[in-house]
Chain A
Amino acid sequence: MNIKMESRNFTIPEKEYMFPGHVACPGCGGALAMRLVLKALGEKTIVVIPACCWTIIDGPFPMHSLHVPVYHTAFETAAVAASGIKAALEIQGKKDITVLAWAGDGGTLDIGIQSLSGVAERNDDIIYACYDNEAYMNTGIQRSSATPKGAWTTTTPVGNPKGEPKKNISEIMISHRIPYVATATLAYPDDLINKFRKAQQIKGTKFIHIFAPCPTGWKMAPELMITICRLAVLTNIFPLYECENGVKYTINIVPEKPIPVREYLKLQGRFSHLQEKDIEQIQKTVDFEFNLLLKKAQLIV
């Protein structure tokens, strides 16, 4: 008999690269995402943070909450600042350092998409992680192009909720034919860590889209943070998949029997105004999109 000392559900690395005392809201998905990602990447990592919640979370000068260097940069420059750092490191002969751009959905899908696209087109050797909380949370919950259709935000108030679907940033990045694009979320920490480790081993631009709930902005109980991640995956709202070189798709979780989107929506106040027909419409869209993904992964013809 082999002695297993633990009954762990997950096997995540022991070492922490983050201090507590950071100023994320209780139950912040973005904070946990950083913690897990740094566990994956280790100490030889430099993090580039544009304007986003993490600008605040890291703590005000003279404080800092990570055990790795953080370079704060302007909103739209996460990707290219990371490229600049990588270039500087390479020219100085430091080839073993991972440069991680760490931006929110606004900094990625909206204002930062230009420099991100530039970096991806040049295939600069960085990991770009977008921790997506589906709105401009730091500024007070304004809609972004990552906000899902039907959601309330302070700029898409009830009565006129967001009418447009969420921009599919992963597909945009896949279209750049970069070596690695993946989606990940916090309810599946092993998967998330594996993806970052995989990305670390690949040269070129790697893009990882992390679904990271914001209990504050989603009007939900903070303790549901992980559960909502799990539901996002099991409803197929946020499928976990990878795509290599723009063509080779792998879907990591194909739910045998997807959970109806209603179960996901009903836990969040930002969707509380939705009517039956809206929910049905969302369900249809989710089904359609997942079917499309299955086709891309050649799981169905």
Chain B
Amino acid sequence: MKKVVTGNHAVSYGVKLARAQVIAAYPITPQTQVVELLSEFCASGKLNAKFIKVESEHSAMAACIAASASGARAFTATSAHGLALMHEMLHWAVGARTPVVMANINRAMGPGWSVWTDQNDSLAQRDVGWIQIYCESNQEVLDTTIQAFKIAERVLLPVMLILDAFVLSHTSEPVDIPDQEQVDEFLPPYNLKTKLDVNNPRAYGGLTNPDHYFELRYKIQKAHTEALAVIKEIDEEYKKHFGRQYGLVEPYRCDDAKVILVTSGTITSTARLVIDEMRDEGRKVGLLKYRVFRPTPREILRDILYRAQKVCVIDRNISFGHGGIFAQEIKSVLYGLPASPPVYSFIIGLGGRDVTPKDIREIIEYTYKEETPAEPVIYRGVRL
């Protein structure tokens, strides 16, 4: 069924179709519509779930983890400061190997207060151990939401799906909303092997001495490694059921490309137009949509980018004192390859400032033109 929905509501529909059982959330702009619609679903009985209207995001995550460890499919959504407040519990979700799914609406961090999009909130949580998937369209948001539960429950890692504030969250697009039966076929009920059970009285997450802590951490990393294949497999399975797939990354017109632009989130859609334009002009440029950020799809990134002469990366984020975070990641992926292409790092659009086709074209042109980047990090559009 096609419906014109916002990115936020696409999340809500996905959660409903995934039959989440416990939802705990706290309102924050721009996430509110996600939970508003879910509240309506719960209230009307369209979704049989317990919605705990917690007093903070920290509690939201704590409740989701506990519910998940008790055998219920759990979901929450947040943004920016909410995500930052959750930070401690994000670690907990991973350490407890609970397949919680969360939608994070990318919003810039204060102060000064900003409700507009950038990626610093989610990228600040890079190292907590969550799977992170950056979405480009409302359709992808819905599809990724459904996939996320399956991925999380297969590898016992929490999954964060990420969408840009307003550009996706509040923008309506036509979305194909699958039938419940179809989704049920794709996504079996949550069945956690060892869960809180009075018939199996164990302690979960107690004191772990140096004797054992390392081994348990090692198993988390191993799960991440295995997750790459699982995500790919589930994506392909999704295609069989629903006719759509997204890949770990999406190369666009990268064959024979001399310059490949790397983007994430909604900037990708804008970049596609620019690439098409430039291709029409006969320029050998390609686009790589970086979708699954954690675990890092190292091999496929290398396969695609290695063929280019130059790589430029657009970051709508900044790791202060260093630079663009996606660029760092790309550099580290390419590191060690003989004659790997140079990486041009561009920071742009922080705090929701528009990223126009012109900006993107200039970035590609610059990369084309300059033998080496003038600076390790190039700021586009900063008025200083």
Contacts and interface: CB of A to CB of B under 8 A. Distances in A.
Interface string B178-210: 000000000000000000111011111111110
Interface in A42-64: 43-46, 48, 55-56, 58-64
**Highest count of chain B CB atoms <10 Å: which of A55, A87, A90, A117:** A87
A85 B89 CA distance: 15
Contacts, number: 157
B56 A118 contact: yes
Contacts of B123: none
Contacts of B196: 46, 69, 71, 85
A117 B52 CA distance: 14
Contact of A91 (B24, B50, B56, B63): B50
Contact of B62 (A59, A67, A115): A115
Interface in B104-151: none
A87 B55 contact: no
B198 A69 contact: yes
B222 to A, nearest CB: 18
A89 B70 contact: yes
B33 to A, nearest CB: 22
B86 to A, nearest CB: 11
B21 A72 contact: no
A55 B207 contact: yes
A66 B52 CA distance: 29
B204 A87 contact: no
Interface stretch (A74-82, A156-164, A218-226, A258-266): A74-82
A122 interface: yes
* Interface range on chain A (Cβ under 8 Å from partner): 35 or more
**Highest count of chain A CB atoms <10 Å: which of B21, B48, B72, B200:** B72
A147 interface: no
Interface string B64-86: 11111111101000000000000
* Interface range on chain B (Cβ under 8 Å from partner): 35 or more
A114 B59 CA distance: 9
Interface in B17-62: 21-22, 24, 48-50, 52-56, 58-59, 62
A59 B203 CA distance: 9
B58 A71 contact: no
A87 B92 contact: no
A124 B52 CA distance: 9
B62 A58 contact: no
26 contacts: A44-B198, A45-B198, A46-B198, A58-B206, A59-B203, A59-B207, A60-B208, A63-B203, A69-B197, A70-B204, A74-B62, A77-B58, A80-B24, A80-B66, A81-B66, A83-B63, A84-B65, A87-B24, A87-B52, A88-B50, A91-B21, A91-B22, A91-B48, A91-B50, A114-B56, A115-B62
Interface of B: 21-22, 24, 48-50, 52-56, 58-59, 62-72, 74, 88-89, 92, 196-198, 200-209, 212
